[in-house]
Amino acid sequence: MINVIQNTIGSLTRRVSTAASIITQNLQMWLGFTSSSWVGGELVVLDESTNTNNAKLFTGKALSFDGVNDSVDVPSFSLTGERTFAIWFKTNSTLSNRRLFNLSSDSGSCNITLSNGLINCYDGTNNPIASTSFNDGVWHRLVIVMKSNDVKIYVDKLSQTLTTTNWINRASTNKQLRIGSNTGTQSINGYISYAEIYNAAWDSDDAVYDYANPNKLVFDNESSSIVVGDLVGYWALSEGSGSIAYDSSDGGNNGTINGATFDDKQPTIPQLGMMDWSNASGKTLIEAPNNIGYDILGNALRLREGGFNLDGSGYGSIANSTTLTDITNGTIQFWLKTSDTKFSILNGQSSSEFIGKTDNGVWTDGNVGTITAYKDGSTANTSPVYDGAWHFYTFTGVNLSTWTSFLISNLTSFELDCIVDEVLIYDDVLTATEIDNNFNVSSATHS
């Protein structure tokens, strides 16, 4: 956490030597990456300057199903009593009978289906159907709560009206569960991510919390009656590669991915770049089963450490704004922690729109005018350090007047595997004293 003092008098008073705050005079964008927030239906990191240069996040991963023969198969799954299914999905398909979940039961069934975008459930007898269709090509969070004689459906935290409710919770004992398909055919034509099954019924507050906190699990909410032990299946489907859908619930019900393929750079769904891998609930997200401390791919857990943790496949996007394009002689600062030797920090879409790019150990830029680079305060610097430790970089003389877009590490072939934090953009050149100030203020949280 960094304290803030708003300087309001002018550039002379901006020149502080012992300030305990980030300098906010002339500050046009400040991405602190402390948390993600919903703004206008998009998951963003808020701009902490007085502007609204929020960064939309594109670091989610999901499985893509082809509408024909793709599926995730869990061979043996057991479930009795009240239950809750939760999943992120995106489709524009008009196909009927496309399963999100297909759980065989000892008698009857327990299915959750999309038919021309309409969500319905089936227990072998009853078939409650929601009245609103969701085949609009955008991501939705679906929560279905199955209590005795009662089904409730929430989409994006909003309760949906059902045509019938007389539900029977069928017992399943070591039965096949399929995600994204029924019998391995008639798969959904769209995307799925973060499929969860709880052996308990959520209430409406749980659905609201779940949607508002996509990077947390519902039992992280202290006021919820749901506990970690209620989570009996959790397939994040964010592995990014391979044919195994790992179950992070401790249930050991890993699934086999048949045909479905991973897509990265997804917005809206839980953002891996902002994920707190070792959360306070005691259940580390997407940990390797039986190998705590490592993720499901066998890599050491990527801790957020207070920053935006990119793995080379995701990015942030800031909407074009005159508060940025009016900058003709400004300053960019950021913290960076990487061992990657080829990357771009801030770039647009053209070859002349990048600052903080390197593939040969030397900073390069596509900037008109002359840029001066500094590292860890006001020490002049021509190349980044690839030592896996935090370093603070400053670029002065920045001209953004011709930029058409503002992206954090989305330059083709220069996507960054790193943690980036405290991205600051000023519309003026900071002095050495000011550069040192911002470095010193934020050093304590980047050691």
Partner 1 sequence: MQGNIFICLNRATYKGLIPTELEEAYSRKVYDIDSDLVEVLDTTFEDVAIDNRVKFGNVIELNIADNRYYVIELDCSWLSGEVSALLNLGSALNYPSNCLMTNTEAMELIRDNQDDQDR
Site residues for partner 1, window 63-92 (CB under 8 A)?
A: 64-71
Amino acid at 370: T
Compute the least distance from the CB of residue 91 to partner 1, in Å: 12
Compute the least distance from the CB of residue 73 to partner 1, in Å: 9
d(CA 32, CA 49): 10
Q: How far does Cα 186 stand from its chain's mean position?
A: 29
97: left (phi over 0), alpha (psi -120 to 50) or beta: left
Closest CA to 70 of 235, 183, 181, 190: 181
Question: Quick one: which of 35, 92, 183, 339 contacts partner 1 (CB under 8 A)?
Answer: 183
187 makes contact with partner 1 (CB under 8 A):
yes
- Report the residue number, 172 or 182, with the smaller CB distance to partner 1: 182
Compute the least distance from the CB of residue 174 to partner 1, in Å: 20
Which residues face 380 on adjacent strands? 374
Query: For strand 22-23 and strand 4-5, is the pairing parallel, antiparallel, or unpaired?
Result: parallel
Question: Quick one: which of 261, 322, 370, 382 contacts partner 1 (CB under 8 A)?
Answer: 261
- Report the residue number, 66 or 305, with the smaller CB distance to partner 1: 66
Compute the least distance from the CB of residue 422 to partner 1, in Å: 40
Q: How many helices (H) and strands (E) does the chain have?
A: 4, 35
d(CA 339, CA 148): 53
| Candidate ranges 214-222, 255-263, 404-412, 420-428; the one touching partner 1 (CB under 8 A) | 255-263
Site residues for partner 1, window 87-126 (CB under 8 A)?
A: 95-97, 109, 111, 113, 120, 122, 124
Q: Which residues of 64-75 are buried (b: 16+ CB within 10 A; e: fewer)?
A: bbeeeebbbbbe
d(CA 262, CA 196): 18
- Report the residue number, 61 or 391, with the smaller CB distance to partner 1: 61
289 makes contact with partner 1 (CB under 8 A):
no
- Report the residue number, 179 or 398, with the smaller CB distance to partner 1: 179
258 makes contact with partner 1 (CB under 8 A):
yes
Q: How many CB atoms lie within 10 A of CB 226?
A: 22
| Sign of the alpha-carbon torsion through 42, 45, 46, 49 | negative
- Report the residue number, 111 or 313, with the smaller CB distance to partner 1: 111
* 387 contacts: CB under 8 Å, gap ≥ 6: 339
Compute the least distance from the CB of residue 122 to partner 1, in Å: 4
| Candidate ranges 60-68, 138-146, 339-347, 400-408; the one touching partner 1 (CB under 8 A) | 60-68
User: What are the residues binding partner 1 (CB under 8 A)?
Assistant: 64-71, 95-97, 109, 111, 113, 120, 122, 124, 127, 181-187, 189, 243, 256-261
